[in-house]
Structure 1
Amino acid sequence: MNISAMIKLTVSMAIFGSIGFFTVHTGIPALELVFIRCICATLFLGMLWLLTGGHKTEQWSKKEVVRTLICGIFIVLNWVFLFKAFEEMSISIAISIYNLAPIFVLILGTIFLKERLTLRNVLAIIICFLGSILIIGIEQFTSFKDLYQSGFVWAILSAIFYALTVFTSKTIHHLSAYALTFTQTFVGIILLAPFSDFTVFEGLTMSNWLYIMGTGFIHTGFVYYLFFDSVRLLPTIIVSVLVFVDPVVAILLDMLLLDFMPTTMQTVGIILVFTGIIYTIYTPKQKIKTIT
């Protein structure tokens, strides 16, 4: 086992778990925050890409470039919707719904890749669906407007677009992780620049700017560097386990620093969502053999 890679991935997930806390202290809307994040990440990862000499050995192809550009649009929308969810609901609730993404990846694989949907998968989807209903407290909403204003729609959209990002990235095999991410964040700059309101940056405090730079250079640039430098050196099962460090840290910070306390039903919902996801990911090998 590569201990160094495990440590890097654990650190990256723990840092990323604090992004919600940073986001609510930036003092700027979601779209403008993602715009700045894309600029910081492009500069940071572009510099590493050049320093490592990776730009000299890239294998570019028209098909993969097009897929990377599409993937870039998906990941930018994923970020915008996630940060919009943070604006409307607690970090813990938003993160719990956001982590439904693996279920959406499963559904996309079934629809587009004709992958077999097993009884185990169906049960996991049902468990996650019930958990998400308990998390948002569906009984509180009497109209779609109430549901929309709760942030639930933004959180679901962020999960869907994250799933689309993962699904699309699976079709990109030759570009390095640096080239892939640099291209995606550069797309974000071009995509969001015309829609960004630059007046929101006026009157920000030093504290606001520190949190903004943190989401850009630390949560995007540095975290992506650690993630891509480690994930390819570890077995899928280890990666799947360590990824859960992210939501655990996010929920703990929300409770400890932002005084969030989930209701009993929300707690049950959070447990159901993560149970369903784990149930999906950790299919015993012997079970896989009998199904296929």
Structure 2
Amino acid sequence: MNAHVKFSLAMAIFGSIGLFSVKAGLPSLELVFVRCLCASVMLGAVLLLTNRKGREERPPKSEYGKVLLCGLFLVLNWLFFFRSFEVMPITVAVSIYHLAPLLILLLGSLLFKEKLTWAGIASIVICFVGALLVGKAYSHGHVSDFLQTGIGWAFAAAFFYALTSLAGKSITVLSPTKTTLIQTMLGAVLLAPLVDWHLFSGLSAENWLFILITGFIHTGVVFYFFFSSLRELPASTIAILVFIDPIVAILLDVAVLHYRPDILQLVGILLIFLAMGYRPKKYEQKKA
């Protein structure tokens, strides 16, 4: 399987994660815990089978601290992302979540004093306007009413996705697969004491099917396809193929869950997609 096919499959599979999370029948915290657990098993098996450990350099101790900090941001990103699916349509959550590349650009200029170009500023403004339209800000009389729609969860997910990318750029020795394994193990350890185990007792066979697919396929398989193809593709190709993810998510929301965005929301989605065409190229971004 060539790199183009692997990356395209990774994006298409990840695009269906919203639908599967809705069908799983678990709250966000418990679903993220299962995802971390399944991904740890899957990625651990991949490392053992490919014997990657023996081919890696020994990283400095400081790198493990960076991996753990990045892992904390990643787990928070997942928690807020899945929470957004509980309180708003998938189309709205996914569209706002894809503000993350522009947040990376904005945070990079604030934290690292990097120059923000006029094209970058324009993209941020366009994305912000698109997010307001997708979130139907025009239908709420007060800001507090708008925030009560749960839109803050999607913004928080995008924010921590941006922090994950920024923190991850300083990880240079450990392989992406081993890095992600450490991070998913961290997530499983941190979330285990908070899990309400009683929620698992009332699940149907169909729920378990969606849960396990979310854990092993949407996390383990997607990460393996993503990381094994990422370094073989030029940035221009990646910038195009990542659009598969939100397109699949929105199509499934409309076709399966029968969500119907109004005309202004469609304009907002288009604006976000247009602004996504301007992407910061300095940071290696992790899809989650």
Structure 1 portions without partners, runs of 5+? 283-292
State how far apart, in whole Å, the 2-side matches of 1:196 and 1:142 are: 37
Verify: 1:192 aligned to 2:191, yes or no. Answer: yes
- Counterpart-to-counterpart distance in 2, 1:281 and 1:252: 27
1:23-102 equivalences in 2 (<5 Å)? 23-58=21-56, 59-102=58-101
What is the aligned partner in structure 2 of residue 236 from structure 1?
Answer: 235
Question: What residue identity is the alignment partner of 2:32?
Answer: V
Shift of 1:255: 0.6
1:233-276, CA deviations, whole angstroms, 9 ceiling, x for partnerless residues?
A: 11111111111110000000111111011100100011111111
Q: Which runs of 5+ in 2 are unaligned?
A: 282-288
The one-letter amino acid paired with 2:117 is: T
Q: Distance in 2 between matches of 1:156 and 1:120?
A: 22
Contact residue 105 and residue 280 of structure 2 kept, 8 A:
no
Aligned-pair distance for 1:114? 1.7
| CA distance in 1: counterparts of 2:112 and 2:243, whole angstroms | 26
* Per-residue CA distance 1:74-100 (angstroms, 9 max, x = gap): 111101101110001111110000000
Q: Percent identity?
A: 47
Kept in 2, the 8 Å contact 1:88–1:149? The answer is no
The letter of the residue matching 1:211 is F
Report if aligned partners of 1:131, 1:273 keep a CA contact under 8 Å in 2.
yes
Which residue type is aligned with residue 9 of structure 1?
Answer: F
Alignment map for 1:102-113 (pairs within 5 Å): 102-113=101-112
The corresponding residue for 1:18 is: 16
Deviations 1:125-183 (A, max 9, x none): 11111111111111333455533431200000000001111111111111011110100
**Judging changes above 3 Å, is the alpha-carbon distance between structure 1 residues 98 and 148 closer, same or farther for their aligned structure 2 residues?**
same
Report the secondary structure of 1:258's partner residue: coil
Q: Is the partner of 1:279 in helix, strand or coil?
A: coil
Corresponding letter in the other structure for 2:26: I
SS of equivalent residue, structure 2 residue 68: helix
Q: Give runs of aligned pairs for residues 1-292 of structure 1, distance below 5 A.
A: 4-58=2-56, 59-143=58-142, 146-280=145-279
Q: Aligned equivalents of 1:149 and 1:47: distance in 2? A: 42
Structural RMSD (CA): 1.4
CA contact (8 A) 1:240 1:281 kept: no
Superposition deviation, residue 277 in structure 1: 1.5
In structure 1, C-alpha distance between the alignment counterparts of 2:260 and 2:245, rounded to whole Å: 18
**Inter-partner Cα distance in structure 2 for 1:102 and 1:218:** 24
CA distance in 1, matches of 2:248, 2:268: 18
Shift of 1:185: 0.2
Q: 2 CA distance for matches of 1:40 and 1:115?
A: 38
Quote how far apart the aligned CAs of 1:55 are: 2.0
Do 2:123 and 2:275's aligned partners in 1 also have CA atoms closer than 8 Å?
yes
Matched residue count: 280
* Aligned residue type for 2:6: K
More off after superposition, 49-58 vs 117-126: 49-58
SS at match of 1:227: helix
Q: Measure, in 1, the Cα distance between the counterparts of 2:145 and 2:190.
A: 30
Q: Which amino acid is the alignment partner of residue 181 of structure 2?
A: F
For the residues of structure 1 that align with 2:74 and 2:146, how far apart are their CA atoms?
Answer: 24
Q: Is the 8 A contact 2:102 2:280 kept in 1?
A: no
Q: Distance in 2 between the 1:134 and 1:87 partners?
A: 20
2:236, 2:208 → 1: CA distance? 38
- 1: CA distance between counterparts of 2:151 and 2:3? 35
Within 1, Cα distance between the matches of 2:133 and 2:62? 42
For 1:146 and 1:273, locate their aligned partners in 2 and report how far apart those are by CA, in whole Å: 23
Give the whole-Å Cα distance in 2 for the aligned partners of 1:64 and 1:260. Answer: 44
- Kindly tell me: are residues 141 and 194 of structure 1, through their superposed partners in 2, closer, same or farther at Cα, counting changes over 3 Å? farther
Q: Structure 1: how far apart are the matches of 2:173 and 2:182? A: 14
Q: 1:137 to 1:117 in 2, by over 3 A?
A: same
TM normalised by structure 2 equals 0.94
